[in-house]
Structure 1
Amino acid sequence: MAAAGNFLVGGLVGAPQTFWAPQAPVVEVDPAQLAQEAVDKMTLRGPAIGITPRPGGKGVVGMPVWMWTAKGAETYGPNSASASAGGITVTATAKVSKIVWRMGDDTTVTCNSAGTPYKRAYGKKNSPDCGHRYTQPSTREPSGKYHVTATSTWSIDWEVTGGGGETGELTELRDSDVDITVAEVQVLN
């Protein structure tokens, strides 16, 4: 097989030279490195936060808070990409395995689903899969709001296609955040 290269003589670069080798050079390819290259081709985002009360609106202490994310390829998965080198291809597929919600009141809620979008028809019911209830108003916070952060854990499975059959796993984290206001109901006598 012929290969071309440059050589350096006395500080000068010479013209490309051709040489013959009995075999093509062996290129070592790390499948895990290719898997990371495939992941780098994907757009993996934090949750597209849906929450009641909505940012800009007001919730009430003791009322159910519903949390969810849109189920898109970039916000929940699945999302796939491939990378190739040295005669092998690695395909990686990412999907969110959990979302950890830090509610701003020292409470953490872990949801193993995308959550359920709230509808007015649900009234005062608790979320079936991803909810919270505040026990104190957000006026106790310096900003007057609760800062809510949602962290998606993207679980990524990869496999070598076209030989080897090697597999592996990777994990990526992505955050999103919003501020919400939770008020206390005032009762007059």
Structure 2
Amino acid sequence: MTETTCVEYTDAACATLLYHPPDTADPVAPTDPAALARHALAVLRLAPPDLRLTPPPDPGDPNTLVNTPTHLWLPVGTTLAPQTSSATDRGLTVAVEARLDHVTLTTDDVPTASTDCTPADLVTGPPASPFDPPACGHVWRTTSADRPGGAFHLTVTYHWGITWTGGGRTGTLTTTTTATYDVAVRERPVTLRPDP
């Protein structure tokens, strides 16, 4: 609503009228704890665990064989401790805690494959034998010789569960981070034996 103020009178009549335009500025909104939690998560920069592959990727030499598993694992004794962060705005502080929920392995061989692994699947240490079935891993059924760069892509997606608290409220969020490996796969070598 436009307000007016008379600043000069003549014979009891208003000679000069001052107009005040309406104040259209929005009032300062209270801080949203959920939005502040998303900000705290954005600056956390989640660090994935020190995941190992057996056999390890080697760009200069094919590093696994057809029908031989590639194992993904974490060193024995690895503790997947939660990662934490916080953010503060206008006196309100929100704390977030992120825990690794599971990982998804995705490959681009044919047919494409997707496998979920729990943290318990990963904390196994190196395989006793490279031919053992992997607790978490993949088996390529064809060579990568005709693939671009001579390798398949293995994408590991880390799924994080996040809880936050602040302003008398709690909530949950989810997010993912990814890592990609190039895995060269060759045919199993054939040993020719001489005729007896």
Written as runs of structure 1 = structure 2, the 5 A alignment for 1:9-158 is 28-46=30-48, 48-56=50-58, 58-68=63-73, 77-105=81-109, 106-113=112-119, 115-116=122-123, 119=126, 121-128=128-135, 130-158=136-164
Distance in 2 (CA, whole Å) between partners of 1:119 and 1:68 is: 6
After superposition, the CA RMSD in angstroms is: 2.8
User: 1-side partners of 2:64 and 2:44: how far apart?
Assistant: 36
Q: Pick closer, same or farther for the CA change 1:117–1:181 going to 2, 3 Å.
A: farther
Structure 2 gaps, min length 5: 1-26
The SS at the match of 1:143 is helix
Q: Is the 8 A contact 1:46 1:151 kept in 2?
A: no
Structure 1 unaligned runs (5+)?
Answer: 1-24
Aligned-pair identity in percent equals 31
Give the C-alpha shift of residue 44 in structure 1: 1.0
Deviations 1:11-58 (A, max 9, x none): xxxxxxxxxxxxxx9861100111012212312145644212211151
Give the aligned residue type for 1:91.
Answer: A
Q: 1:41 to 1:159 in 2, by over 3 A?
A: same
Structure 1 runs of 4+ with >6 Å offset: 70-73
- TM-score, normalising length: structure 2: 0.69
| Equivalenced residues, count | 159
Residues 49 and 119 (structure 1 numbering): CA distance in 2 closer, same or farther, change over 3 Å?
closer
What SS does structure 2 have at the residue aligned with 1:40? Answer: helix
Cα pair distance change 1:183/1:116, threshold 3 Å? farther
In 2, the alpha carbon distance for the partners of 1:156 and 1:174 equals 13
TM-score by structure 1 length?
A: 0.71
- 1:69 Cα offset (Å): 5.3
Larger Rg: 2
Query: How much does 1:156 deviate?
Result: 0.9
